[in-house]
Amino acid sequence: MIRLTNSLTRRKDAFTPQDAGDVRMYVCGPTVYDRAHMGNARAAVVFDTLYRLLRHTYGPEAVIYVRNITDVDDKINARAAESGRSIAEITAETTGWYFDDMTALGCLTPDHNPRATQHIPQMVAMIEGLVAKGHAYAAEGHVLFAVGSYTDYGALSGRTVDDMIAGARVEVAPYKRDPMDFVLWKPSEEGQPGWDSPWGRGRPGWHIECSAMAAELLGERFDIHGGGGDLMFPHHENEIAQSVCAHGQPMADVWLHNEMLQVDGRKMSKSLGNFFTVRDKLDQGVPGEVMRMVLLGTHYRKPMDWTDEKIRAAEVALRRWHGLVAGMPEAEVDPGVVDALSDDLNTAGALTRLHSIAGGVEAGEVAPGVLAVSARLLGLLGKGDWAAAVDLSALEARLSDLRADAMATKDFAALDALKAALTDAGVEVRMSKDGVALTPAAGFDPAKLGKL
């Protein structure tokens, strides 16, 4: 049984889908104006892992995963104005970047990746319905949701309206009846993307797109809605308000939020100089699978601290695991891994179990296939071209000969030079009375071995 911590109820409860043959999950995806940073990646990896668990539990054909693409936004408009490029060109390029980077992290492609610009009619229709029911009003080319018309506003974040006004930057505008009212539709100026509507040429506000697309693809009420913790207010709070008022029933039964990412104990930000994207790390030679393992090392509901030490440890472990499962037949998934993931997606516990399984494989007590198929439930040990087995036996023999010569002549120059070159190539050198052992370690670069 899967148990999940519902942000709306603040409890960890057994997950019971409305229909076990049609499990439906919606996750807020990226606003495509730039490269995805590692915080974006954490949300993608967390919910990809949940998607894998749901598919394992209910069957691949029984799960529908929707992750949207926000391709109409003021940030995109600003980027177009700065660069002189068209909005369509920017969003096409950055959407492709996002898909490529998430694939590099081992994320499966969701069943649907709806783009906001492809669902404007659905948004207009939903806004019209809210106006007709008295939950929204038109003013000066805008349409705004009347927060006061929804008595449960604030239930998700657990804050009163007064608290939300005090703790948030609320846009003050003369056409608003209440400071907390939020925009469903706004007018577009010349040069801005716009669509015809009953309120004139304009474009949707941010929040309405997810409500409209989720209802279109998953129905008015579905099982799971996920996203980063920074979206709880105002985005998800507003989604709930407009969806409940439009459809007269809850939008999603379970709300899940992952905590934010830090770098060496500090918030990741450009001002601190510790901001980086997934592509930055890929270009630096950090394999996507290594990044995924680091991201999974902390429970999704806790802040995750990204460090170079974690990268090195993940790379060493994954190289070891790839060596253990190379060419091995499939087996059954280890129940302990499934149990850990089923306990509120305890990925850290699942990784601990995988380390134990790897030790059992090395001891000859566990079939290698168990490690392979269990790790794949977490999106690990896929193709693993970066961790392909390397035959270091010739270098081990050469190092052993140099060691013997050095012991006889007391001249260690050649031995030390080869050891230094191996270390520079990311090879761990272990020398003992039993002989010489070379193992690829963090930062392993096969290309440097060619020079040796």
Mean pLDDT of 321-335: 88
Q: How far apart are CA 210 and CA 202, in angstroms?
A: 18
| Terminal alpha carbon distance of the chain | 53
The total number of residues written for the chain in this structure: 452
**pLDDT tier at 332, thresholds 50, 70, 90:** very high
* pLDDT of 200: 96
Q: Nearest CA to 379 among 80, 149, 50, 77? A: 50
**pLDDT tier at 168, thresholds 50, 70, 90:** low
* pLDDT of 167: 53
- Cβ pair 415, 407 in contact under 8 A: no
13-58 per-position pLDDT tens digit: 999 999 999 999 999 999 999 999 999 999 999 999 999 999 999 9
Half-sphere exposure of 173 (CA within 13 A, CB side): 15
**pLDDT tier at 134, thresholds 50, 70, 90:** very high
Tokens 């290309």 map to which residue? 447
- Helical pair 38-58 and 288-296, crossing angle rounded to 10 deg: 80
Check whether 5 has a pLDDT greater than 90.
yes
* pLDDT of 358: 96
* pLDDT of 30: 96
- Cβ pair 33, 82 in contact under 8 A: no
Check whether 274 has a pLDDT greater than 90.
no
Give the H or E element holding residue 358. Answer: helix 347-362
Count of C-beta atoms within a 10 Å radius of residue 382: 14
Percentage of the chain surpassing pLDDT 90?
Answer: 77
**pLDDT tier at 391, thresholds 50, 70, 90:** confident
Q: Nearest CA to 287 among 326, 322, 327, 259? A: 322
Domain boundaries, the chain: 3-258, 262-387, 393-449
Q: What one-letter code names the amino acid at 145? A: F
**pLDDT tier at 165, thresholds 50, 70, 90:** low
* pLDDT of 170: 60
Q: Which of 82-86, 256-260, 443-447 shows the lowest mean pLDDT across its residues?
A: 443-447
- Cβ pair 203, 186 in contact under 8 A: yes
Higher pLDDT, 438 or 446: 438
**pLDDT tier at 449, thresholds 50, 70, 90:** confident
Q: Would you say domain 3-258 falls under CATH 3.40.50.620?
A: yes
Q: Which of 92-101, 373-382, 418-427 shows the lowest mean pLDDT across its residues?
A: 418-427
172-228 per-position pLDDT tens digit: 788 999 989 999 999 999 889 999 999 999 999 999 999 999 999 999 999 999 999
Instruction: State the average pLDDT for the chain.
Output: 93
What is the value of pTM for the model shown? 0.89
Check whether 418 has a pLDDT greater than 80.
yes
- Percentage helix, strand, coil, to 5, in the chain? 50, 15, 35
Q: How far apart are CA 273 and CA 278, in angstroms?
A: 16
* pLDDT of 314: 95
Q: How far apart are CA 356 and CA 350, in angstroms?
A: 10
Q: How far apart are CA 299 and CA 258, in angstroms?
A: 9
8-state DSSP, 235: I
Per DSSP, the three-state class of 165 is helix
Mean pLDDT of 79-105: 95
Sequence-distant (6+) residues with CB within 8 A of 407 are: none
Pairing between strand 142-145 and 11-14? Answer: unpaired
* pLDDT of 169: 56
- Cβ pair 143, 182 in contact under 8 A: no
Half-sphere exposure of 286 (CA within 13 A, CB side): 24
* pLDDT of 166: 58
* pLDDT of 389: 62
Q: How far apart are CA 347 and CA 378, in angstroms?
A: 8
**Angle, alpha carbons 60-62-63 (nearest 5°):** 75
* pLDDT of 427: 87
Q: How far apart are CA 174 and CA 189, in angstroms?
A: 19
Mean pLDDT of 239-248: 98
227: left (phi over 0), alpha (psi -120 to 50) or beta: left
